[in-house]
Amino acid sequence: MIVLLFTGGTISMRHDAAAGGAIPSLSGKDILALAPGIDQIAKLEIDDWGAHPGPHMTVERMWTLRNRIVHHLGRPEVDGVVVTHGTDALEETAYLIARSVQDEKPVVVTGAMRTSSDLGWDGPGNLAAAVRVAASPMARGAGVLVVMSDRVFAAVDVTKAHTHALDAFESPGLGPLGVVDDGRVIFRRALPAPPAILAPTAPAEPVDIVYAFAGADSRLLDASRETGRAVVIAAMGRGNVPPAMVGGIERWIRDDKPVVITSRALRGRVGCTYGYPGGGRRLAELGAIFAGPLRPQQARIDVILALGAGLGVAEVRELLESL
C-alpha cells in the first residue's frame, strides 16, 4: 500500500475569482477523482495533512510533516509514501526528509506547475508517476526521491531551475536518476552515496541565508547576528564576497557562531582559490566553513539539523567540509 500524503501546493489549486489567482481548493480525494486510473497502479491510502502553498511551509511545518512520514513508514502494511508539495519549497522539504530519515521504503515527493484550472494541468500525470516509482521494487533503498515531468531525481541534489515550465526541476551537472517511460520505472545513473543522517529532536532556528552581490556590505549580516544561530552566505562564484561583507563575517565568527560559505551559482563547489580581500582563502583563514557542493538552501537545512542535534562549530565544520 502507498500512502498519499497531501500537503497542498499548486497540484491542489484552482483559480479563484475573488482572490484573483490560484488558491488551494482540492482535497486528496478531489485530486484522485480528477486523475482516473491511479488507483490501478497500487493500493492507496489518503492522508489529507494540509493545504499549504509552497511559500507557506516553515521549518516547523516541514518537521511536523517529516514526523508524519516517519509514522507511515513505520506501519508494516505501508510500502512507500508519496508526498504532494508546493514546488516553491519542494526541494527544501525533500532535502530535509532525505537528511533526517533513513528507511528502505521509498518516499517520493511530487507536485505540479499548473493548476487544475489550467490547460495542461500536470498534477495527475506527476502523481501517477510518483505512485509508480513508490510502488517499484527499484525504488527500495533509493532514499527520498522527487518525481516531476516523468523524471526521477534524488532529493539530495534536485532544485527548481525554472519559474513556470513543466520540466522546472533539475539536478544541475548530474541529471535525473531515471525516468518513468510508458509505465516503466527506469533508473539510468547510480544513486549518490547516502550521507550520514541527522535526526535531532527538533531543528534549530533561526538560520538565515544572506546573499552576496556587487557592492554588498555587512548590514544584513549584522542584523541576522542579533538572534541568528548561524548564517549561510550565498557567495559569489567559488565562494567569494565583496570586501565590505568581511567585517560582518568576522563578527559572527568572534561570537562563535557558524558562518557557512556556499555559492549562488547552480553548479560547482566552493573553495579557497582566491586570496584577495573577501576571497575564499581569506574567509577560510578567518574561520568560515565551506559547504562543498551544497546550494545555500541545502546548507541551511544541514545547519539547522546539525545545531538541533547539538553539534558545535567544529562538528558543523567537519560535517559540511566532508561533503
Residues marked as catalytic = 10
DSSP characters for 15-60? Answer: EETTTTEEEE---HHHHHHTSTTGGGTS-EEEEE-----GGG--HH
Q: How far apart are the first and last CA of the chain?
A: 35
DSSP characters for 146-182? Answer: EEETTEEEETTT-EE--SS-TT-EE-TTT--SEEEET
Q: How many CA atoms lie within 13 A of 299 on its CB side?
A: 32
The residue among 99, 90, 106, 97 whose CA lies nearest residue 3 is: 106
Sign of CA dihedral 203, 271, 264, 225: positive
Task: Provide the residue type at 71 as one letter.
Answer: H
* Residue in this structure with the C-alpha cell 542584523, named with its chain if needed: 223
- Asked whether the beta carbons of 124 and 35 are under 8 A apart, the reply is yes
Cβ neighbors of 85 (< 8 A, separation 6 or more) are: 7, 8, 9, 54, 57, 93, 94, 109, 110, 111
- Asked whether the beta carbons of 315 and 321 are under 8 A apart, the reply is no
> Per residue in 78-104, is it b (16+ CB within 10 Å) or e — as a string?
ebbbbbbbbbbbbbbbbbbbbbbbebe
